[in-house]
Amino acid sequence: MSATEIIGKKPLQILERIKENLEKLNEKMEVMIELQKHDTKSVMQPLTETPLDVMTLLSMPDHLRKTAITVCRLGRATADEIAQQTHRARAVESAYLNQLVIMGHLKKQRDGRKAYFYVERESQGGQ
Amino acid sequence: MGKIVAVHSYKGGTGKTLLSMNLAATFAKQGKIVCLFDLDFRAPSLAMLLEVEKTEHYVNDYLNGTCEVDKVLVDMSETFHAKGKLYVGFANPATEAIRDMSAKDRKWEMRALGRLLALRTSLLNDKSIDYLILDTSPGLQYSSINAIVTADLVLVATTFDRSDVDGTRRMLRELYDLFEKKTELVLNKVMDVSTKPAKEELRSRVKDTYQVPLLGLIPCFCDVLKAGGTTVFASEKPDHPFARILDEIANEINGMP
């Protein structure tokens, strides 16, 4: 008899919700740790949408530039997919991605248990 | 999977367009499917050099989001006597278009980067293009840096002019390195490399100065300069020493992982 059958469907859903919440909590903690590690003031300044153009990429700290460029290349990706490209740990990429969201360079969208990160291009103006 | 090659330099007049055009012609001569894009929107030159007076769509239109990339491609395989295929994407040389491209804001440039990055799928994957060559404008311009971010390989055309040397060194450290780009130098308009020791001495001087690989050494050919860029030596004079050097450069790039 499988574990699913033993604990029933409802308890399993509850456990999944707990896991999801723990993951969200973990992401928030990773961001807080990252913000403390780097220059918090400069990172926290632009809270509104800031275009991720090449001049902005050039002025970024190296660790964030690598993540940001990878998102630009992939278009829309999870922390896992970014980590596969950059060969860094998923938790590290998750922290950097969330930091880029806070800085206004990336957007984050939840799809079930997965969080996708992308550059908002089409809805913005620009001439 | 094809490659995207950006041809860039610190200063103007180092031979970027000459190199881009002849490199594209060399690959096409080898049977490759090649796209050559003019991304020098402030001083477009491919339309003039290839005597194409007007096309329906320009690279400007693709980056503006008003047409798809296949509308931009002009088949110039016959002009280049290509064994493969050679498509050219022109920058609009009209004064109004140049003014329009110079006034773009950061949001537009960000979208333009997205459209350039999308070429990897639309050209390299979907159309099986072997090489997309991006001829850029010199220095730190938005369009050039967008091209550098998009490229797999950056060819830096340089001369031994003092201001070009210092500027190129700075760009290597503060631009290409930051984007972790594979960068190779092409030293152009070189005087006196007729003997092997002179060539070796120059190679070691370039290595000491720039600390990046030297892909090619192009001597100052009077007949190339006299042609004013209108003769594509790689396809029209394939036995010329300049065309031979281009063959070597193309083969080196073919062999890169």
CB count within 10 Å of CB B154 equals 26
Hey, where are the domains in chain A?
3-118
- Least confident piece of the model among A54-68, A113-127, B7-21, B196-210: A113-127
Cβ-Cβ contacts under 8 Å, A56 against chain B:
106
The contacts found for B70-79 with CB under 8 angstroms, 24 or more apart, are: B70/B122, B70/B127, B73/B35, B76/B50, B77/B28, B79/B50
Distance CA B121, CA A1 (A): 47
Hey, where are the domains in chain B?
3-252
- Least confident piece of the model among A7-11, A65-69, A85-89, B228-232: A7-11
* Contact with chain A for residue B236, Cβ under 8 A: no
- The pTM score is 0.85
* Contact with chain A for residue B179, Cβ under 8 A: yes
Chain B interface test: which of A48, A50, A53, A85 (most B C-beta within 10 Å): A53
Task: Please determine, for residue A124, whether its predicted confidence score (pLDDT) is greater than 50.
Answer: no
* Contact with chain B for residue A54, Cβ under 8 A: yes
User: What's the whole-number mean pLDDT along residues A83-88?
Assistant: 95
Task: Please determine, for residue A107, whether its predicted confidence score (pLDDT) is greater than 90.
Answer: yes
* Contact with chain A for residue B4, Cβ under 8 A: no
Q: How far apart are the first and last CA of chain B?
A: 10
Interface confidence (ipTM) of the complex: 0.84
Looking at this protein, which amino acid is placed at residue B243?
A: A
Percent of chain A at pLDDT > 90 equals: 46
Chain A interface test: which of B66, B105, B107 (most A C-beta within 10 Å): B107
Cβ within 8 Å of B, A 105-124 = 119, 121-122, 124
- Residue A11: band (very low, low, confident or very high) from pLDDT cuts 50, 70, 90: confident
Residue by residue, pLDDT tens for chain B (257 residues) are: 899 999 999 999 899 999 999 999 999 999 999 999 999 999 999 998 988 888 999 999 999 999 999 999 999 999 989 999 999 999 999 999 999 999 999 999 999 999 999 999 999 999 999 999 999 999 999 999 999 999 999 999 998 888 888 899 989 988 999 999 999 999 998 887 778 888 888 888 888 889 888 899 888 888 787 777 778 888 888 888 889 999 999 999 999 98
Distance CA B202, CA B209 (A): 10
Confidence at residue A12, expressed as pLDDT on a 0 to 100 scale: 84
Confidence at residue A8, expressed as pLDDT on a 0 to 100 scale: 65
Chain A interface test: which of B101, B110, B142, B176 (most A C-beta within 10 Å): B110
* Contact with chain A for residue B154, Cβ under 8 A: no
Chains A, B: CB contacts within 8 A come to 62
B87 - beta bridge partners? B35, B75
Are A55 and B106 inside 8 Å of each other by CB? Answer: yes
Are A56 and B145 inside 8 Å of each other by CB? Answer: no
Q: What is the 3-state secondary structure (H, E, C) of chain B?
A: CCEEEEEECCCCCCCHHHHHHHHHHHHHHCCCEEEEEECCCCCCCHHHHCCCCCCCCCHHHHHHCCCCHHHCCEECCCCCCCCCEEEEECCCCCHHHHHHHHCCCHHHHHHHHHHHHCHHHHHHHCCCCCEEEEECCCCCCHHHHHHHHHCCEEEEEECCCHHHHHHHHHHHHHHHCCCCCEEEEEEEEECCCCCHHHHHHHHHHHHHHHCCCEEEEEECCHHHHHCCCCCCHHHHCCCCHHHHHHHHHHHHHHCCC
**Separation of CA A111 from chain center:** 13
* Contact with chain A for residue B105, Cβ under 8 A: yes
Distance CA B206, CA B185 (A): 9
Task: Please determine, for residue A122, whether its predicted confidence score (pLDDT) is greater than 70.
Answer: no
Q: A82 vs chain B: nearest CA distance in angstroms?
A: 16
Q: Does domain A3-118 have CATH number 3.40.109.10?
A: no
The architecture in CATH of the region B3-252 reads: 3-Layer(aba) Sandwich (3.40)
Q: B49 vs chain A: nearest CA distance in angstroms?
A: 29
- Residue A106: band (very low, low, confident or very high) from pLDDT cuts 50, 70, 90: very high
Task: Please determine, for residue A2, whether its predicted confidence score (pLDDT) is greater than 80.
Answer: no
Sign of the dihedral defined by the CA atoms of residues A85, A89, A94, A97, in that order: negative
- Residue A125: band (very low, low, confident or very high) from pLDDT cuts 50, 70, 90: very low
- Least confident piece of the model among A17-21, A102-106, B113-117, B119-123: A17-21
Of all residues in chain A, the one with the smallest CA distance to B120 is A73
pLDDT in tens, B48-77: 898 888 899 999 999 999 999 999 999 999
